[in-house]
Structure 1
């Protein structure tokens, strides 16, 4: 943890113009990589995309057979991948020479850009492994950018506390003056992890120009009268603030970003603007010149 831990004022304004939930989606069982069992929340028939976000997976199991095969070498082009580890240990290696181990509470934010080949493999053979993988699209002007990688241990993620003791982890974006750990600005992302106390009413500053969502991974949260329970994603209609209300303890992530408003053509791990660009990505991969 960081040693900066100020108290956040959570007094709720009397204004009624607060962000609301427009759609609720539950994850569906899926598998990826070499057979890792997971729950696909975004990137499924009920919610294919939410510009600029392409996918959200939650993985979590205490059975090593559900995750031990990991995600062997595979390519990406045209977007960013984010891995946020709640519990467990995973090693990252990629074709740009980056290597790191993500552990409890850590974050990896990778810009695939013009092309990268990477792998994420478990560094444990037993115990709980739980976390999220998020895919963030890139605008056409940055799809062929230089690949990049941020490996952020939990100690480098800023944390704040509300008056009631709720924990706010600022992974990306700005929370009431506290800048997040992630430096990328491609879609001005916000990524917050809230560990909410009983009877909390937390006012969260938001960007009215963003698209985004809440995902509850423990407990339940009330947003403007709409209750989200564990395993549910709520698509948000943003004003300039969001109020999270709880009766009992809950954990929820908030993710938002500037919509790109460009065509999306996706073929597995390649996300571009046209079919020809996808064809070129496939040719580059086949010829060994992707990365």
Structure 2
């Protein structure tokens, strides 16, 4: 079915990135789908990981206490339970469908530990950069329970859209997610489609955008994209995704680029090497 007001300028795929198996935290097995490098800069996005396993040994070690400075982290759970605790006294139990949005700002020390010893654990962690003027802001933390995020039927009836951040156009009846007002204006949608469905959504001009297919297979623009692959989108007015022979699930992410230098050292992301050195010193001296 064609969107009744469909733009003709579809964003096409510029690059397809496969998820790469790795480990993080205390031996948690995951797929690193995207990681910032000077050669591949999806500004303001810094990283996207997916963790998905039925084996407790793959996740039981969790992510013990570790620091962050200079960016935001987004954890989105599909299956399983994780407990967040930080040095500010925040505590959040993330269950299926829940989101945690944390602004590290000038510094946070936190842990994310599984609250189960068996069963499936599936979710994502996304890192989004902060502009220089916000990198030393006070840290902030927010839990977004699944029931507070709107789930909207697609216009062709082939599936649903969960609105996590930003606003879904929904034809002529926009639906706002619970996360709004950030400098980078992020859009984060989780789309579930049956076979032979279509998703079509306008995207802000100039915003960096990508689609991550995590189940099934889809046509993103004119490119066939399989499961566990990220499709980097070029310029254009909208994103179009068509499911093929099976159910398909994918994330749509877009945000305004910051356009500033990125200097990263592990969990610290700043604009200069001197700022990184200061972050390490502050952490080691207990100033977070």
Deviates more, 1:178-187 or 1:233-242: 178-187
CA contact (8 A) 2:13 2:222 kept: no
CA contact (8 A) 1:164 1:197 kept: no
* Shift of residue 183, structure 1, vs aligned partner: 3.4
Q: Equivalents in 2 of 1:50, 1:44: separation in Å?
A: 7
What does residue 27 of structure 2 align with?
35
Q: How many residues align?
A: 282
> SS state of the match for residue 31, structure 1?
strand
Structure 2 portions without partners, runs of 5+: none
| Residue 89, structure 1, aligned to residue 81, structure 2 | yes
CA contact (8 A) 2:83 2:114 kept: yes
What does residue 282 of structure 1 align with?
280
What does residue 4 of structure 1 align with?
none
Q: Equivalents in 2 of 1:94, 1:45: separation in Å?
A: 28
Deviates more, 1:272-281 or 1:163-172: 163-172
CA contact (8 A) 1:12 1:201 kept: no
Q: Equivalents in 1 of 2:2, 2:220: separation in Å?
A: 15
What does residue 5 of structure 1 align with?
none
The 3 A distance-change label for structure 1 pair 148 and 45 is closer
The 3 A distance-change label for structure 1 pair 19 and 34 is same
> SS state of the match for residue 282, structure 1?
helix
Q: Equivalents in 2 of 1:132, 1:90: separation in Å?
A: 12
Deviates more, 1:81-90 or 1:44-53: 44-53
Task: Compute the TM-score of the two structures, normalised by the length of structure 1.
Answer: 0.93
| Residue 254, structure 1, aligned to residue 242, structure 2 | no
What does residue 199 of structure 1 align with?
196
CA contact (8 A) 1:48 1:54 kept: no
Q: 1:133 aligns with which of 125, 147, 159?
A: 125
> SS state of the match for residue 68, structure 1?
coil
Q: Equivalents in 2 of 1:49, 1:32: separation in Å?
A: 21
Q: 1:221 aligns with which of 218, 222, 231?
A: 218
Q: 2:206 aligns with which of 200, 209, 231?
A: 209
What does residue 53 of structure 1 align with?
45
Q: Equivalents in 2 of 1:222, 1:29: separation in Å?
A: 24
| Residue 124, structure 1, aligned to residue 116, structure 2 | yes
> SS state of the match for residue 37, structure 1?
strand
> SS state of the match for residue 185, structure 1?
coil
* Shift of residue 238, structure 1, vs aligned partner: 3.5
- Residues 145-164 of structure 1 mapped to structure 2, 5 A cutoff: 145-162=137-154, 163-164=156-157
> SS state of the match for residue 8, structure 2?
coil
CA contact (8 A) 1:207 1:238 kept: no
* Shift of residue 48, structure 1, vs aligned partner: 4.5
Structure 1 portions without partners, runs of 5+: 1-8
Task: Compute the TM-score of the two structures, normalised by the length of structure 2.
Answer: 0.94
CA contact (8 A) 1:150 1:182 kept: no
Q: Equivalents in 2 of 1:254, 1:10: separation in Å?
A: 19
